Chains A and B, each alone.
Chain A
C-alpha cells in the first residue's frame, strides 16, 4: 500500500543492530542526508524522534515508535464524519488536523444544502488525502475507485507508526490474516483498520492485529503471527 514506508521498515528489519535512538542522539556526519525523524545542525545529523535508526541509500531516517498521524497526499484513510455543512463534510481522520470534504469530492451528485442525505455525523468513510498545503490545511476526497462509505463491521485503531508492520512487505502480513480469517480488512494509513466478516473470525482478526501492534518490533513476527492464526483455527475444530 505504501511502498516507501514499507521498504523503510524492511530496511530497519534487516539492520542487524536495529538501534534505538532518542531525541538529540548523534547519528552521523558523513555524506548522508537528513530524512524523516532527524535534523541537521552544523553539518551533523541528530535524531529528533524516539525511534529506530535506518540508513538507506544516502538518507538517514528514524522510524518513529509513537506519535500522531500527519496527513500526506495520497494516503488512504478511514475517517468519521463529525460535522455536516451545506457544501461540505468535516471528517475526523485521527490526526491533529480536521479534514473537510467538499461536495465536489463526493462520489455522488450532491445539491447545496443536501449533504446530510448522503453522509451524516458519525458515519464512516474510506477516503483519500487529496490536498495538504504548507499550513497543513487538509482536504479529503472520495472520488477514486474503491473509496466509499463504510457500513457494518468493526473498527480497530492502532498507532499509525505500526501501520506498515500490519500491512507487511507487499501486504504479506495483512494477506495472511485475510486468508486465515476470511475477513474483509481495510487498513487506513491513519491507523484505523476496518474488519468485517464472520463474528468469530472478526475477533480472531482483531486479536491478530493487536498482536502485531504489541510485538511490532519483535524479530520473526511473521512466524509468530502464523502460529497464532493456526492456533485459532485448531481451536475452532475442537
Chain B
C-alpha cells in the first residue's frame, strides 16, 4: 500500500468513485444462508465482485488432542483463496497472508461464540474465497458468522464486518481492488452490532487520528446495515411461520408440490392435496 501510483482517477470532480459510488456507499451485497448440504452450517456472500463461501462444522471432537481446551471449545478458522480468485493465478496453499487472516477471524469469532458450553471440542470454520476484489476478510467474517448461526452454534451475536480507507485524500467506505492497491490506507473492522464491541480492527497504511475516527464511524454505520442483511438472510432460510408466506406464494408452492407427491402415492392423493390447506406450505 502507498507505494503504487496510477494515472487512474480514483475520485472524479463530482466526488464519485471509479465504480460510480459516493464515498460512503457500500458495494451491492447479497447474503445467502445454508447453501451447502454436507456442512453443519454454511453461507455465501456476494459482495461487489467478491464471492465468498463459508462452511461450519461442529462443535466436534478436537484433533489433534493437544489443542483441546478442557474448559471450552476452540474456534479454528481456515481462510483460503482459490487459485482462480485473482487475476494472476494464486499459488495454492496457505501463505503468510491467509494464515494471518485465519488467525484474526478465529479470534474475532471466539469472542461471540459461547465456547464454555462445549468443553474439549473444536468449531471449525472454512472460508473459501472464490473471487476476490478487496475486502475478502470482511466478506469472509460476515459469511462465517451467518454460517455459525446456521449451524446452530450458540453465540452472543452475529459479527458484521466492513472496511473503510483513504483514497486520493478522501475517506471512503468499502474499498474495491483499484482503490485498495493505489489508495493510501485500508482499515477493516469487525463489529458486534448489539454491544458495539470491536472484535477485528487492522490498519494498513497511515491515517491521522481524525481521519481514523471518520473511517471508523463510516464502517460502523455500514456494519449495522450489513447486520440487517445477515439477519434477513437467516430469516429467509428459516421462514417458519407459514402465515407469513403470502397467500399467492403459498398457492404457487402448493401446485409445484403436487407432482412430487404423485411419485409416492399414485393418483388418489392428488385430490387430497388440492383440498388440503397445509399440503404445500413447505
- Chain A interface (Cβ within 8 Å of chain B)? 17-20, 22-24, 37, 39, 41, 46, 48-52, 64-68, 70, 96-98, 134-136, 161, 207, 214-215, 217-221, 223-224, 227-228, 231-232, 234-235, 238
Contact = CB atoms under 8 A, between A and B. Distances in A.
A218 B154 contact: no
Contacts of B269: 227, 231, 234
A135 B119 contact: yes
B104 interface: no
B266 interface: yes
B151 A24 contact: no
Interface residues of B, number: 49
21 contacts: A22-B149, A23-B149, A23-B154, A24-B194, A37-B154, A46-B157, A50-B150, A50-B152, A50-B234, A50-B238, A65-B152, A96-B59, A96-B60, A97-B121, A135-B70, A221-B278, A228-B264, A228-B265, A231-B265, A231-B268, A234-B269
B156 A46 contact: yes
Given A37-B154, A68-B152, A235-B265, A20 B235 contact: yes
A135 B117 CA distance: 9
A98 B63 CA distance: 13
Contacts of A22: 149, 158, 231, 234-235
A50 B121 contact: no
Given A39-B114, A224-B278, A235-B266, A68 B158 contact: no
Contacts of A136: 118-120
A12 B151 CA distance: 21
A23 B150 contact: no
B62 to A, nearest CB: 8
A236 to B, nearest CB: 10
B265 A215 contact: no
A113 B255 CA distance: 62
A24 B156 CA distance: 5
A22 B119 CA distance: 23
B153 to A, nearest CB: 7
B261 to A, nearest CB: 8
